Amino acid sequence: MHKPDWLEAALSAPIDAGFFATAEGGVDAAILADPQGYLESLRQQEGDFIPAPEGVLGGKPVPFLQSPVPGRPTFVATGYETLKSVLVDDRHFLQDYEFSLAPIMGETLISGLNPPVHAKYRALVSKAFGAKSISALTDESLEPLVTALLERIAAQGGGELVADLACRIPVVILGQLIGLPPTGYDRFAELAARIMAFAYHWDDAMAAAAELRELVLGLIEARRADPQGDLLSHLLAAEIDGERLSDEDVVTFARALIPAGIETTTRGMGTVFAALLSQPGLYQRLLADASLVPVAVEEILRWNGPAQMIPKKTSIDVEIAGRVVPANASIWCALGHANRDPQFWDRPTEIALDRPRGRSLTFSNGAHTCIGNVLARKELEGTVQLALRILPKLRLDPQAQAPQIQGVLFRSPDRCAVLV
């Protein structure tokens, strides 16, 4: 049976999994391996707000924490209850992408906007992103794509799940959603990864963002002339109270969604499979009861989520968690630590499928909850469900290095070698 062009391209595109390798230069290996444990040890000394002057955390350098503004107070916020309070308080704790993603993505970057402007742009984008045709387009693409990738791994007797699966699915799904020509998948993946490496390679991230802007503008021009059922067409048509998004607004949203959606889902998928196959009996438990897949995915993302920290800043002096945090301080919200806070979670370092659901901060919380979380969950859960059906004997390759989940800002395994 002949495969459609987009699926042939998805299978053959030379997407380099190295684009998504965790490369946080200058960070101590012990912190990369267990940032949550390191933060918890510092929290015992400093409280929930841990000072990180000039990018130094507990006496050890963590370069991405260093503010470009000399002398600016910097803290890492920890603790589930404290962090949840910070994330929902848009009056005292503002989004802070002024010196990171905003210059790369554009002035109307939704994750960087604050009230009251944020609500308008979020509503316009949510209207387009929540369209039934977008959900249908995802459903139409996801099952044939994942099935083809898994069947290829089965035919080969095994593979490497980050390269052969995790880094392909979000690239192709987002490509389908925005109407990207299939011949562009590999370039699409490279640009996304270069943009998300902004904390360590600023000039290259800016160059990649400029190239992605031109790519999206070309797609916008085509959609204005011939609207389709894809995301760009819905974004161009979205209207609330007579207001619409400009072309630059659409570019900004697409330029943020594409790299963030690809990066986080690729990393999340690598971690999900590494955990399912590393934890004794966990994959077999899902084979016996596939209804547990959403529970398992949610719990693994709590245990080790792809995005470990997000930035905010204080609008005024704020007293919180026993500390006065000065105005205009840089606040790095440690989502990963909150999701393992021993004061909130029972057995925080274990993967436990009997936990109450809906409490993790993996996708943040409040008005700035990740707008793509539903899509990410659909991709992750759908892929695991199909793997259970197509690869029931999936297991780690005992001759290969075991998956190593690491990273402080972004976290995932670089490799996950398997046999079937």
Q: What are the pLDDT digits (tens) for 355-365?
A: 887 799 999 99
Does residue 267 form part of some domain?
yes
Rounded distance between C-alpha atoms, residue 420 and residue 242, angstroms: 55
Q: Give the pLDDT confidence score for residue 291 in this predicted structure.
A: 97
Q: Show the domain range for 259.
A: 30-419
Does residue 4 form part of some domain?
no
Q: Where are the alpha helices (DSSP H) in 304-410?
A: 335-338, 373-390
- What total of structural domains would you count in the chain? 1
Rounded distance between C-alpha atoms, residue 178 and residue 232, angstroms: 5
Cβ neighbours of residue 8 under 8 Å, at least 6 residues apart? 182
Residue % of the chain over a pLDDT of 90: 59
Q: Give the pLDDT confidence score for residue 113 in this predicted structure.
A: 73
Contact assessment for residue 62 and residue 32, using Cβ atoms and an 8 Å cutoff: no
**E strand or H helix that includes residue 114:** none
Does residue 23 form part of some domain?
no
Rounded distance between C-alpha atoms, residue 401 and residue 312, angstroms: 37
Does residue 58 form part of some domain?
yes
The model carries a pTM of: 0.94
Residue 122 Cα to chain centre, angstroms: 18
Does residue 88 form part of some domain?
yes
332: domain CATH number is 1.10.630.10
Give me the phi and psi of 50, to 5 degrees please. Answer: -95, 120
| Residue whose C-alpha is closest to residue 390's, from 148, 165, 140 | 148
Residue 15 vs residues 44, 128, 172, 185: alpha-carbon distances, Å: 43, 29, 11, 8
Contact assessment for residue 244 and residue 238, using Cβ atoms and an 8 Å cutoff: yes
**E strand or H helix that includes residue 111:** none
CA dihedral 243, 247, 249, 254 (to 10 degrees): 130
**E strand or H helix that includes residue 332:** strand 330-334
Does residue 2 form part of some domain?
no
Three-state SS at 249: helix
Q: Give the pLDDT confidence score for residue 380 in this predicted structure.
A: 97
Q: Give the pLDDT confidence score for residue 99 in this predicted structure.
A: 66
Residue 327 vs residues 55, 72, 74, 330: alpha-carbon distances, Å: 18, 10, 11, 9
Q: Give the pLDDT confidence score for residue 31 in this predicted structure.
A: 93
Cis peptide before 259 (omega within 30 of 0): no
Rounded distance between C-alpha atoms, residue 121 and residue 351, angstroms: 37
Does residue 72 form part of some domain?
yes
Q: What are the pLDDT digits (tens) for 76-106?
A: 999 999 999 999 999 999 988 776 666 777 6
Beta strand residue intervals within 204-268, DSSP E: 239-240, 243-244
List of the chain residues with pLDDT < 70: 1-2, 99-102, 106-110
Does residue 14 form part of some domain?
no
Q: Give the pLDDT confidence score for residue 97 in this predicted structure.
A: 76
